[in-house]
Amino acid sequence: NAGVTQTPKFRILKIGQSMTLQCTQDMNHNYMYWYRQDPGMGLKLIYYSVGAGITDKGEVPNGYNVSRSTTEDFPLRLELAAPSQTSVYFCASSSPAGVQPQHFGDGTRLSIL
Amino acid sequence: AQKITQTQPGMFVQEKEAVTLDCTYDTSDPSYGLFWYKQPSSGEMIFLIYQGSYDQQNATEGRYSLNFQKARKSANLVISASQLGDSAMYFCAMREQATDKLIFGTGTRLQVFP
């Protein structure tokens, strides 16, 4: 059981470039999330989705876009990368409510130079 | 607005001793969930323990227990019999019931020494 899979694990971008961080889960979870973690800090929510075709902004959405065409996939798009987007990005998924925790991917370490 | 506060940036504990990591929260929702996650130096987020706002008893999972004091809005993590492998960052988080979103604290770095 793979859980939540993120690709790539590491990436270096130049300022102004674009890229898509991939996230897929095989647990049939309705809810999916993207977080960023800056050095020495907790996680901040970028975007989330409660089901295919439904997305909403989190705490720090500027500079990012998402889509959710299937239950399994929730890609995060960075347009015009900026140094402030250097961070570790985590994707997570969960079942609605209940006592089940969010399951996290292993993260993508992204550097913008 | 909902908020999680972890006031201990770093903690040290000797192996085999118990340690308490503090977490306070603020919410106006009557229904919420509280989580603790461990993040070792390898970076992954590992779920440790969960406490629901209506749970009457404190949650326990092996060496981890959650000291839940609802009136004081605190949800402290207690690790008993610390091991060297417990050295990591520990995050407290609160879930919004309506959206399942997690709000994280800034974390506490625990170092266990021999």
Q: Which residues of A touch B55 (CB under 8 A)?
A: none
pLDDT at B2 (0 to 100): 84
B33–A contact, CB cutoff 8 A: yes
Question: Using one digit for the tens of pLDDT, what is the confidence trace for B47-106?
Answer: 999 999 999 899 999 999 999 999 999 999 999 999 999 999 999 999 987 777 889 999
For B20-37, give one letter per residue: b (16+ CB within 10 A) or e. Answer: ebbbbbebeeeebbbbbb
Residues A23-43 pLDDT 10s: 999 999 999 999 999 988 889
**Cross-strand bridge partners of residue A93:** A32, A103
Rounded CA-CA distance A77/A6 in Å is 13
Using one digit for the tens of pLDDT, what is the confidence trace for A46-93?
999 989 999 999 999 999 999 999 999 999 999 899 999 999 999 999
What does the radius of gyration of chain A's CA atoms come to, in whole angstroms?
13
- Contacting residues of B for A94, CB less than 8 Å apart: 100
B45 near A CB under 8 A: yes
> Which positions in chain A touch B50 (Cβ < 8 Å)?
99, 101
| Nearest of B3, B74, B90, B103 to residue B40 by alpha carbon | B90
